[in-house]
Structure 1
Amino acid sequence: MTRLKKLSLPISGLLLLLFIHCDLRAQKYDVAAFYWPAYHYEPRIEFLFPEKKGEWEIIHKSKPKEAGHLQPKVPVWGYQDEADPREMNKKITAAVAHGVNTFIFDWYWYEGKPFLESCLNDGFLKANKGRMKFYIMWANHDATSYWDTRNPRKDSVIWKGGVNRAEFDKVTDRIIARYFKDPSYYKIDGKPVFCIYELQTLIDGLGGAEQTRLALDDFRRKVKAVGFPGLHLQGILWSALPANINGVPGDKIQTQDKVLSFFGFNSITNYCWAHLQNPEGDYEKWADASTDMWTGFTRDFSIPYFPNLTIGWDANPRYPFKAGYITNPAPDKFEKYLRKAKSFVDRHPEQPRLVTINAWNEWSEGSYLEPDTTHKMKYLEAVKRVFGSRK
């Protein structure tokens, strides 16, 4: 009792903190689902989504492109506003109840300002109350008219994703102040995890490899200055991860692993299987080909590789034409690869037990854990059967 009296928090507050501490650490595996924060009103893209509902506007209007094509996808919860903490509460509650204990938020910065941030700030952070972890993937690609169903071209740029050093410092200062300091921010060995989507875009914007290494070193120093033991830098493994760096003294950096080492990255994962294998045809063939690559990733990289799972792929809601898509996805098939990921993690006890999933809500790309009217909660129930144990 004497010790409790010396603390400024009442006993009820201490119990709440204890609950949060236990809740965030009780699960044996960390299952992190990428979160695409495009289902709320964003003033900067009202010209794309005039109904002020974000990308929901193309989901419910989607049409089948051929016989047997399962469109539109229909969410059980309706076309909810994710920036509303009451709606976000449904997502958090369902996620943690089924073993998804982390969201990886796609995070954007264009023309000196954050973009699509209201989902995280107004929705998740106000609703979470310590129930699940989160971390940031800086989706630093160009914003293109790929988001515009009237002109889905990746070579038509709305905003550039690259940043100069002054903008980089603004980004990292914001990330540290707003997110790293949140008790629920995901950490490895006490270090906040920060993921970068396109390393080559970062290098190009900052003016080269040496400038990029200096910028990342300064980022690490700033993280340490606010009390963390360091920064855990995570890369996305795909074609935007360069395999060599030109102009470095000695010019011996000729593999993706050496590139990551040069910049001080600590781990890698994938964003989705569509980056690894052409997203067309049968789900299990696509999944087998993608997950069979994990062994090579572990062999070829000197930093931990965290296995990625992808639920499906059908980006046709974004196109006026028929695009290739994955056929025959199903929860029971997905569970097979969940178990493969668990086995992979168990065979690598020297690294954190982290698995990433595409995605919580990529409705426009046909890869989501959120319940729809076809499968209800079955994808989430599969995650719970494999990863939901608290032992």
Structure 2
Amino acid sequence: MPRPTILAYYFPDWHSDPRNTAWFGDGWDEWKLLDAARPRFVGHRQPRVPASGHVDESDPAVAAAEIELAASHGVDGFLVDYYWYDDGPYLSGALDNGLLKAPNRDKVTFALMWANHELVDIFPYTDPADSRARRLKDGAISRPVFEQMVEHIVEAYFRQPHYLTVDGKPWFSLYEIGNFIAGMGGVREAREALDWFRNRVVEAGFPGLHLDAVVWGFGVLPTAVAVDDPATLVTTLGFDSATSYVWIHHADLQSFGFPRGDAGQLREEAFADYERLAKTLPVPFHPNVTVGWDSTPRISQDVPFVRGQYPFLPVFDQTPAEFAAALRRAATFIDDHPTEHPMITINAWNEWTEGSALLPDVANGLGFLEALRAEFGVRAERLAMLGVDGETGETE
């Protein structure tokens, strides 16, 4: 089997954004939530402390350092969480000003994962008496807004020489199929919108669009739009592949201990669901490996931490050794379900406020990245550019 392409989800809320300023005040970013986090139970590892400190990801120098770290440890590309609401893009500074302006930007590929979910105020969640946090933005955008987004994406991102393609077709992931259908007005209308998208990409000079569906087994987020029959919708809407975003989307978290959950059990339940998806979906399914899970920083520190809906979920604090075992589990899955373009997604590069970061922290150092490189090495065609020995992984 060829080495799988390793794609890490990149969460871009570690820089100043105009909407965040309007909602939460000057200079706000999610570092403020991480700073405020405190242990909620005995042995709880909070606050998480990044080894590099609280950096501004929209700084090209910061992006360059992270790109070097990713590429030299086997991360082939970033799937950047991309937000576009009724009034345009949100959190785009990390990509536009950081990743795309880094001098070494071509050392990794990138692609967009359209995070088209409703945005609610969990920054932090403050009212335990209110079962639903206030809505900041509706994720179900209209067809005209969708077309505006596509025009921008094709011109600003798809034309970048290091944008991820499959057989020459730009990759684009859609996070919530149900929300997309709701915004377009129905399944037929959703198919028409995606057909227009495909045609627009061809008009731009590409052989087509590689459309990837993020599929869920369980609706963890309270605002998620459930999809009862993903196989039928994947066929009807014309997706080319399917992926997972995070393990907790594939397990019934009510069956786990609280406040600490068993990461090994979560891994096995997720991969059991991956087996089901691989058998039922009409397109290749690419497995996900999750670093960990801890959404407690998104809860106000004076609010009790009790079992409930997101962000009141069990904590899964995986060690690098456990992560390495999960990578081997994903490699076995790929061997059992061979595809022309094997891929593994990683949650995540930098989801600090959800407890899932490949980036080094003061507790584990480079442990997660070293586990990734030990399992999969560095893609051969990047070795000359990186000056890294493919056998040892050491820099020349």
Please, what TM-score do these two structures have when normalized by structure 2?
0.86
Residue from 287, 295, 303 that aligns with 2:267:
287
SS at match of 1:293: helix
Indicate the residue corresponding to 1:229 in structure 2.
Answer: 207
Q: d(CA) in 2 for partners of 1:76 and 1:151?
A: 32
SS at match of 1:230: coil
Q: Does 1:70 align with 2:45?
A: yes
Q: Does 1:114 align with 2:89?
A: yes
Indicate the residue corresponding to 1:311 in structure 2.
Answer: 291
Structure 1: tracts of 5 or more residues without a match = 1-26, 245-254
Residue from 111, 121, 134 that aligns with 2:110:
134
What CA deviation, in whole Å up to 9, does each residue of 1:132-152 have, x standing for no partner?
Answer: 001001101111112334358
Q: Does 1:272 align with 2:246?
A: yes
The one-letter amino acid paired with 2:321 is D
Larger Rg: 1
What CA deviation, in whole Å up to 9, does each residue of 1:40-68 have, x standing for no partner?
Answer: 00121125543515100110111111221
Q: Does 1:324 align with 2:313?
A: yes
Q: Does 1:220 align with 2:209?
A: no
Indicate the residue corresponding to 2:309 in structure 1.
Answer: none
Q: d(CA) in 2 for partners of 1:49 and 1:379?
A: 33
Q: Does 1:79 align with 2:68?
A: no
- What is the aligned-residue identity percentage? 36
Indicate the residue corresponding to 1:98 in structure 2.
Answer: 73
Indicate the residue corresponding to 1:334 in structure 2.
Answer: 323
Shift of 1:390: 3.7
What CA deviation, in whole Å up to 9, does each residue of 1:204-248 have, x standing for no partner?
Answer: 11111111111110100000011111111111111457546xxxx
The 8 Å contact of residues 362 and 368 in structure 1, kept in 2 or not, is answered as yes
Q: Does 1:388 align with 2:377?
A: yes
The 8 Å contact of residues 83 and 114 in structure 2, kept in 1 or not, is answered as yes
Residue from 9, 15, 22 that aligns with 1:40:
15
SS at match of 1:192: strand
The 8 Å contact of residues 105 and 135 in structure 1, kept in 2 or not, is answered as yes
Further displaced range: 148-157 or 82-91? 148-157
Q: d(CA) in 2 for partners of 1:154 and 1:176?
A: 35
Residue from 134, 143, 146 that aligns with 1:165:
143
Shift of 1:94: 0.5
The one-letter amino acid paired with 1:70 is R
Structure 1 residues 151 and 133, CA gap change in structure 2 (3 angstroms): farther
Q: Does 1:356 align with 2:336?
A: no
Further displaced range: 110-119 or 347-356? 347-356
The 8 Å contact of residues 74 and 372 in structure 1, kept in 2 or not, is answered as yes
SS at match of 2:36: coil
Shift of 1:275: 1.1
The 8 Å contact of residues 53 and 81 in structure 1, kept in 2 or not, is answered as no
Q: d(CA) in 1 for partners of 2:366 and 2:203?
A: 44
SS at match of 1:98: coil
Structure 1 residues 58 and 328, CA gap change in structure 2 (3 angstroms): closer
Please, what TM-score do these two structures have when normalized by structure 1?
0.87
What CA deviation, in whole Å up to 9, does each residue of 1:284-303 have, x standing for no partner?
Answer: 11112212222111111110
Residue from 177, 193, 204 that aligns with 1:199:
177
Structure 1 residues 139 and 243, CA gap change in structure 2 (3 angstroms): closer
Indicate the residue corresponding to 1:298 in structure 2.
Answer: 278
Shift of 1:369: 0.3
Indicate the residue corresponding to 1:146 in structure 2.
Answer: 122
SS at match of 1:90: helix
SS at match of 1:46: helix
Q: Does 1:370 align with 2:370?
A: no
Structure 1 residues 328 and 85, CA gap change in structure 2 (3 angstroms): closer
Structure 1 residues 235 and 327, CA gap change in structure 2 (3 angstroms): closer
Shift of 1:189: 1.2
The 8 Å contact of residues 242 and 259 in structure 1, kept in 2 or not, is answered as no
Indicate the residue corresponding to 2:157 in structure 1.
Answer: 179
Shift of 1:260: 1.0
The 8 Å contact of residues 49 and 57 in structure 1, kept in 2 or not, is answered as no
Shift of 1:363: 0.4
Q: d(CA) in 2 for partners of 1:129 and 1:236?
A: 26
Shift of 1:328: 4.7
Shift of 1:350: 2.9
What root-mean-square deviation, in Å, do the aligned CA atoms of Structure 1 and Structure 2 show?
1.8
Shift of 1:112: 2.0
Structure 1 residues 236 and 54, CA gap change in structure 2 (3 angstroms): same
Structure 1 residues 136 and 328, CA gap change in structure 2 (3 angstroms): closer
The 8 Å contact of residues 334 and 342 in structure 2, kept in 1 or not, is answered as yes
Indicate the residue corresponding to 1:7 in structure 2.
Answer: none
Q: d(CA) in 2 for partners of 1:203 and 1:390?
A: 37
The 8 Å contact of residues 295 and 315 in structure 2, kept in 1 or not, is answered as no
What CA deviation, in whole Å up to 9, does each residue of 1:244-275 have, x standing for no partner?
Answer: 6xxxxxxxxxx321111101011111110111
SS at match of 1:374: coil
Shift of 1:324: 3.4
